[in-house]
Structure 1
């Protein structure tokens, strides 16, 4: 039986979504409902404290903002009133350019930090990569994503490990795009997944009715993780040379499971007092769960 762990609140309030750095210093960024409007906030997970002033009028929808370290400095990009804002969180530098994309992500374009935007409709989507420092257009191309709109889609990335690669979930597959080459390089069967570095390189972790599958970018299944019930809200990270995975149990709100992907059985069962809106797993093994009551955190050491 997995060990049961109670997560502790890092901050009280209603949190819509959370993202973390994929490597390096364990930093997180959250979207939180505050006084009737949303605010974005950077967090130092080692210190357990907020960093800097919150960003007002920050979007709640995870598709409308992205956080990572594309080229040496933590960066957040978001949309607001037909504009795309990009802030270097180390310097405060914030270019703004026109546009209201359906999706926002981060990538590395020939060594430069890049913001990737996707404009619908999905059947004829336009993908544009912008220089995160200047707003210069670096690349643009079109892509067919299926018959649905951009609703419920999101850009998969884990900068800087993912480099110029991003993932775009479609009707029944995740399209892997190289924004430097301006083309799709692979399509893997999945309608929901997370993209993360691992000891086997970049992998996709996807929930299925019978478990969680870890797949390489060539489509090969590298691991199958056992679940007692269907899971969603998946997060994964490479921690000390191991791939750690967490997921929320769909029909048991507030219950999370954690795995060392080298072992099929879950190592930990975690409890939070309310249903989870979003999950993230930092490179130091810190799990974060965004809920309507608080931002919860706990260290994972399977």
Structure 2
């Protein structure tokens, strides 16, 4: 039986998105519905306290913002009113670019922390990369997105561990992009075409290098970037809101059950059976895992944390 773990509120309020750093220090960023307008807030998970002041007019759509450690300093990037904002939480410096992309992510481009953006339409989508500190344009190329635009997709990144590699989700596949080479390098199926499962996908470092996680009819799959299945984690029902992190040399994975989004399961990916079960007072809107083993869940009542260290 999975070990039951209590979830504690880090902050009260209605939260719609959360993201954690892929490497230490363990920091997080969450978007929260304020008084008629969303705000964004960074958190120091070791201290259990806010990191810097809140950011007003922050987007609600998770595809419109990104958070991570692309080059040693925590950076959050977001779109607002035809502008792309890039804020360094370590220095307080903010960069504003004249752009309104459909998707935003973070990356490392030849050792420089950078922000990546995708613009539609589907038949001639553009990928652009800018230096996160100077705003210099570092790369740009076009991409074929089939018969759909970038809207409704997500950029997957795990900076700095992922280097220049980012994933672009689709209906039934994840397109892997090398942003330094400016090209698509692989396409991995994110679910069986006939399966009525959500494209809940994560890109994360692991003991086997970078891996993709996504649901399949037989369980939650862990795949290498070459598409090879490395592990299958058993699930009692289809999963949604997948999160993962490399914690003390182990790949930890968490997911919400699609039909019971207030129930979270967690795995040490070395074993197919879930190791932990977390019950939330409200359904999860988003999940993230920090490199210290802290699971974060954004809900309509609070931002919750639970310790999954093994």
- 1:70-105 Cα shifts (integer Å, max 9, x gaps): 011110100010000001110011111101100000
My pick for the range that moved more, 167-176 or 270-279, is: 167-176
* 1:105-132 deviation per Cα after TM superposition (whole angstroms, max 9, x unaligned): 0001111111100001133210000111
List aligned pairs for 1:241-256, cutoff 5 A. Answer: 241-256=249-264
Give 1:135 deviation, angstroms: 1.1
Correspondence list, 1:211-250, <5 A: 211-250=219-258
CA contact (8 A) 2:247 2:309 kept: no
Q: CA RMSD in A?
A: 0.9
202, 205, 208: which is aligned to 1:197?
A: 205
Tell me if the contact between 2:124 and 2:142 (Cα under 8 Å) persists in the aligned partners: yes
Quick one: distance in 2 between partners of 1:193 and 1:237? 13
1:24-61 alpha-carbon deviations (Å, 9 max, x no partner): 11100010011110011010001111111100000011
Deviation at 1:210, TM superposition (A): 2.4
Match of 1:10 in 2: 10
Q: Does 1:46 align with 2:54?
A: no
> In 2, Cα distance between the equivalents of 1:32 and 1:150?
24
Rounded to whole Å, the distance in 1 between the matches of 2:271 and 2:122 is 38
CA distance in 2, matches of 1:76, 1:277: 20
Q: In 1, are the aligned partners of 2:18 and 2:298 still within 8 Å (CA)? A: yes
What residue in structure 1 maps to residue 59 of structure 2?
Answer: 59
Q: Distance in 1 between matches of 2:35 and 2:123?
A: 38
Matched, 1:260 2:262: no
1:286 aligns with 2:310: no
Segments of structure 1 that go 5 or more residues without pairing to the other structure are none
Secondary structure of 1:95's counterpart equals: strand
1:206 aligns with 2:214: yes
Equivalent residue pairs, number: 302
The aligned residue for residue 112 of structure 1 is 112
Choose which of 280, 283, 287 in structure 2 pairs with 1:272. 280
Task: Name the structure 2 match of 1:20.
Answer: 20
Distance 2:288 2:274 in 1: 17
Report the secondary structure of 1:71's partner residue: coil
Measure how far apart 1:301 and its partner are.
2.5
Q: Separation in 2 of the partners of 1:127 and 1:151? A: 14
Q: Please, what TM-score do these two structures have when normalized by structure 2?
A: 0.96
TM-score (norm 1): 0.98
Q: Deviations over 1:276-297 (max 9, x none)?
A: 0000000000000000000000
Distance in 2 (CA, whole Å) between partners of 1:169 and 1:125 is 14
Say if 2:129 and 2:140, in contact at 8 Å, map to a contact too. Answer: yes
Preserved contact between residue 146 and residue 171 of structure 1 (Cα < 8 Å): no
Give distance in 2, aligned partners of 1:209 and 1:271.
Answer: 24
Tell me which moved more, 167-176 or 49-58: 167-176
Whether the 8 Å contact between 1:213 and 1:225 is mirrored in structure 2 is yes
8 Å Cα contact 1:204/1:215 also seen in 2:
yes
Question: Where do 4+ consecutive residues of structure 1 move more than 4 Å?
Answer: none
